[in-house]
């Protein structure tokens, strides 16, 4: 079991690194696109349309970030449920009860702030209000859906973990490889 736990630990560390890399890339891509789209150039060159894709880019990065986050949580859940007498399992249980409550909201809040910044730049010059409102609703709705879905995955892991601990299931949920 030790070699297996070592592989899981290695996978968890790699997932944490990938999640951090995706966060950095999100800031870089979104910052660059926003800067270009918000730049004031002569009237014949209007780059503001780039701002319409900035929230979508942010949402795409959110998918990768939340995917890695789920993988990390899945590994911790598996360890707590299937290796209850190890130090790592005890650590996972202790940390799991003391998670940063703000980290859960960081991804959607940042994406909403990006959307608000784009709205602030686009709104004064927007000619087609209907397309603007559709774009805004689509972005906001997608961000809300991703947040709700990520929370449902988190609660499902907790439920699965409890089910396995209570001996009601013999089919473990293995992390991806």
In a domain, 99, yes or no: yes
Question: Where is average pLDDT lowest: 5-9, 24-28, 107-111?
Answer: 5-9
- Count how many domains the chain has: 1
In a domain, 176, yes or no: no
Give the per-residue pLDDT at 169.
52
- pLDDT level of residue 170 (50, 70, 90 thresholds): very low
Comparison of pLDDT for 76 and 16, the residue scoring more? 16
44 has pLDDT over 80? no
In a domain, 138, yes or no: yes
In angstroms, rounded to a whole number, what is the distance separating the alpha carbons of residues 79 and 139? Answer: 36
In a domain, 87, yes or no: yes
Contacts within 8 Å (CB) and 24+ apart, 111-120: 111/55, 111/58, 111/59, 111/62, 111/143, 112/140, 112/143, 114/30, 114/34, 114/54, 114/55, 114/58, 115/55, 115/58, 115/139, 115/140, 115/143, 117/34, 118/34, 118/37, 118/51, 118/52, 118/54, 118/55
DSSP one-letter code for 49: G
In a domain, 174, yes or no: no
Comparison of pLDDT for 2 and 111, the residue scoring more? 111
Give the per-residue pLDDT at 149.
94
In a domain, 123, yes or no: yes
- Confidence (pTM): 0.81
In angstroms, rounded to a whole number, what is the distance separating the alpha carbons of residues 122 and 95? Answer: 43
List pLDDT tens digits, range 93-143: 788 778 787 888 899 999 999 999 999 998 887 778 898 999 999 999 999
177 has pLDDT over 80? no
176 has pLDDT over 50? no
In a domain, 130, yes or no: yes
In a domain, 111, yes or no: yes
List pLDDT tens digits, range 45-90: 778 889 999 999 999 999 999 999 999 988 888 887 777 677 777 7
Burial class (CB in 10 A: 0-12, 13-18, 19+), 119: middle
- Work out the average pLDDT over 9-28: 94
Task: Considering only the C-alpha atoms of the chain, give the largest distance between any 2 of them, rounded to a whole number of Å.
Answer: 69
Q: Which domain holds residue 69?
A: 2-165
């Amino acid at each position: 079991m030790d070699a297996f736990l070592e592989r899981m630990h290695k996978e968890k560390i790699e997932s944490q690194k990938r999640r951090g890399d995706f966060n950095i890339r999100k800031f870089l891509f979104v910052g660059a696109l926003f800067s270009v789209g918000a730049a004031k150039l002569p009237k014949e060159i209007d780059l503001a349309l780039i701002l319409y894709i900035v929230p979508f880019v942010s949402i795409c990065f959110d998918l990768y970030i939340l995917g890695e986050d789920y993988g990390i949580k899945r590994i911790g859940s598996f360890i707590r449920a299937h290796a209850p007498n190890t130090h790592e399992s005890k650590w996972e249980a202790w940390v799991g009860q003391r998670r940063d409550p703000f980290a859960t909201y960081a991804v959607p809040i940042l994406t909403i702030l990006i959307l608000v910044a784009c709205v602030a730049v686009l709104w004064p010059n927007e000619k087609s209000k209907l397309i603007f409102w559709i774009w805004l609703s689509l972005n906001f709705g997608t961000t809300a859906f991703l947040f709700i879905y990520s929370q449902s995955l988190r609660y499902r892991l907790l439920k699965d973990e409890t089910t396995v601990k209570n001996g009601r299931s013999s089919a473990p949920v293995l992390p991806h490889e």
